[in-house]
Amino acid sequence: MSNTALLPSRSRSGKAVRRRPGVGKSVSVALLVLGAIGMIAPFLWMFTTSLRDAGHAYDLPPQWLPTEWDWSNYAGAVTGPVPILRNMFNSAVIAIAVSIGMIITAPMAGYAFAKLDFPGRNSIFVGLLSSLMVPAQVTIIPLFLLMRTFGLLDNPLSLILPGITGALGVFLLRQFFLGLPQEIIDAARMDGATAWQTYRLIALPLAKNAVSTLGVITFLGSWNAYFAPSIFLNSTDTATLPLGLVLMLGPYGAGNVAQVMAATTIAIAPALIVFLVAQRWIIASLTQSAVKG
């Protein structure tokens, strides 16, 4: 833009700039470290508290590193009055069913919207996308009545059925398939592959990463869900893990803190695994919709 003014000032300001980032950088790192500690400390406290005798759960000054390695709170948590293991199983069943459904339905629809030509294609896609602005709170009452009519309240199907399709997954996969060269598709069709074979044998394998990411995001979303489960499920045996933990915590945090933290540690494990294994994919797909748009 201002190329003409560049040359004369280059050497002078170049020196000044070089000194400042040195100071700036260490201040930055210090602030970032402080922030990062703030992000991680609560989890650290959760974990060390889960390893402590309940009587010492609230010891002050707080001990940030484990003072003892007592796993009995974990045993206590899973054998307590709230059937945490059962709740975890419920959560897992729902999350797995929803993820499997989603990674079947969303790539198919995403592929159709990206690569197949059919009347009404764009209007249908826009209609689907518009569902992203319908908050769960506005549909929850009719959904509750629907589930009640079909006897699905207090049944995992009330969460699985609405979960196996969704516009976000379709959007993500459509983005991926749009990037796929049309020649690949056409070549397969010319070789005599049916539309289904082209999709199943050519396009879908290429979308492996996008599909895995969608599966992971969907699993985590379902595993973490609270609002709909809290309305559709109302017994401790059908409750999902988040509901079980809230029950265990009791009103005003009256429950056994060390055991609650042990159960919370278990509940967070899937997020931690996803974080360690798939962080990069998730970040890529989360940012793609925002930045390239």
Partner 1 sequence: MTMTASKTALPPAPASGRGGRPGQQSAARRREALTGYLFTAPTVIGFLVFILGPLVAALYLSLTKYNILTAPKFVGFDNYARMFRDERLATTYGNTVLYVGAAVVLINGFALLFTVLINQRLPRALTYVFRSAYFFPYLVALVYVSIIWQALFQKDTGILNYYITALGGERIDWLNSSEFSKVSVIVVDTWRNVGFAMLIFVAALQEVPKDMVEAARMDGANEWQIFRSIVLPMISQATFFNITITIIGAFQIYESIIVLTRGGPGDASRSVVMYIAEVAFNKFDMGYASAIAVTLFLIIMLVTMVQFRLRKSWVNNE
Cβ of residue 183: shortest distance to partner 1, in angstroms? 8
Cα separation, 271 vs 256, in Å, equals: 24
The residue (of 93 and 268) whose beta carbon lies closer to partner 1 is: 268
Q: Least distance (Å) from partner 1 to the CB of residue 237?
A: 19
Take residue 201 and report the two structure tokens written for it: 């044998």
Report the nearest approach of partner 1 to the CB of residue 216 (Å).
10
Nearest to 49 by CA among 41, 60, 57: 57
The residue among 3 and 69 lying less far from partner 1, judged by its C-beta, is 3
CB 65 within 8 Å of CB 52: no
Of 41 and 75, nearer to partner 1 (C-beta) is 41
DSSP letters along 9-32, please? HHHHHHHHHHHHHHHHHHHHHHHH
73 in Cβ contact with 259 (< 8 Å): yes
Considering the complex, state which of residue 75 and residue 273 has its C-beta at the smaller distance from partner 1.
273
Cβ-proximal residues to 52 (8 Å cutoff; 6+ apart), any chain: 59, 63, 66, 67, 68, 70, 73, 258
For partner 1, the closer CB: 69 or 196: 196
Instruction: Give CA separation, 275 vs 105, 196, 217, 280, in Å.
Output: 25, 34, 11, 8
> Minimum CB separation from partner 1 for residue 194, in Å?
8
Closest approach of Cβ 123 to partner 1, in Å?
10
